[in-house]
A = this chain, B = another copy of it.
Amino acid sequence: MKAEANSKPKHACRNPRQSRERILESALKEFAAKGFAGARVDCIARQARINKRMLYHYFGDKEGLFREVLRRKMAERAAWLASAPEDPIERLPYWFDLAFRDRDWIRLLEWESLQWGEDRIIDEEHRTRAFANANDRIRRLQEKGRLDSDFNSGQLILSMMALTAYPLAFPQLARLATGLAVSDPKFKHQYEKFLRQFAAAFKPGNKNSNAGGKTVK
């Protein structure tokens, strides 16, 4: 309200919203880079240009901050997943591009899996819903005959994530296998092409694709 004509805003005045935002932003960087155990609270606070005490004020403790960072990132990405192109052949390179552009996301997923394994999934409800939608989409494609329906839709999603995220999650292995650094533009080009070839093999009509399907063991 009232304007305070020439009050010098030495501390840029108060702005809890923005402070919170800055903390989350620098926490994302720190956690993505060093993980939970490796991250330094003081470092996050310094980078956010706030006092450490405020960080504890907003997020309780280090783990609370980590969980909040993850929660937000997941929510952000869930929307992206839904926005994939219909064409199954273009979907893989599209997902790869998403992952390529946001390594922090991939790294957070990695830290999450190492820290908590398959139990205690963060923001489980929300993510479960996102996956259910993705499943439905796949099944609709299968019904329309644009995707082979021999495959279990959940497994298909899993394998698609595998193909698009793996080289980014394990860049050292990608380099050993292909001889190219993942950050090399050539790698990106080559891999996207590969993914298209790959997806093409799943167009229905390839009718030997149930070879393994009947019996196992």
Chain A residues with CB under 8 Å of chain B are 34-38, 89, 107, 109-114, 116-118, 121, 124, 127-128, 131, 134-135, 148, 150-152, 154-155, 157-159, 161-163, 165-167, 169-179, 181-183, 189-203, 205-206, 208-213, 216-217
* Residues of chain B lying within 8 A (CB to CB) of residue A165: 162, 166, 170
Q: Could you jot down 25 A-B contacts, CB within 8 Å?
A: A89-B211, A107-B114, A109-B173, A112-B172, A117-B171, A118-B182, A118-B183, A121-B175, A121-B176, A127-B176, A131-B177, A155-B177, A155-B194, A157-B177, A159-B166, A161-B173, A161-B177, A162-B165, A162-B167, A196-B211, A196-B213, A197-B211, A199-B211, A200-B210, A201-B202
* Residues of chain B lying within 8 A (CB to CB) of residue A117: 171-172
Assembled-state Cα–Cα distance A155/B213 (Å): 25
Number of copies: 2
Q: Are B166 and A162 in contact, CB atoms less than 8 angstroms apart?
A: yes
Q: Are A169 and B113 in contact, CB atoms less than 8 angstroms apart?
A: yes
| Whole-angstrom distance between the Cβ of A197 and the nearest chain B Cβ | 4
Q: Are B191 and A155 in contact, CB atoms less than 8 angstroms apart?
A: yes
Q: Are B174 and A158 in contact, CB atoms less than 8 angstroms apart?
A: yes
The A interface, classified by DSSP as helix, strand, loop or mixed, is helix
**Complex: chain B residue closest to A111, CB-CB:** B114
Q: Are B211 and A171 in contact, CB atoms less than 8 angstroms apart?
A: no
Q: Are A216 and B198 in contact, CB atoms less than 8 angstroms apart?
A: no
Assembled-state Cα–Cα distance A178/B201 (Å): 22
Q: Which of A150, A163, A182, A200 counts the most B-chain CB atoms under 10 A from its CB?
A: A200
Q: Are A190 and B118 in contact, CB atoms less than 8 angstroms apart?
A: no
Q: Are B211 and A200 in contact, CB atoms less than 8 angstroms apart?
A: yes
Known: A198-B212, A200-B210, A201-B209. 18 other contacts (CB 8 A): A89-B212, A114-B114, A128-B176, A135-B177, A154-B179, A157-B177, A158-B166, A161-B170, A163-B163, A190-B217, A193-B216, A194-B212, A196-B216, A197-B210, A200-B213, A201-B201, A201-B202, A206-B206
Contact of A152 among B37, B110, B194 (CB under 8 A): B194
| Whole-angstrom distance between the Cβ of A186 and the nearest chain B Cβ | 8
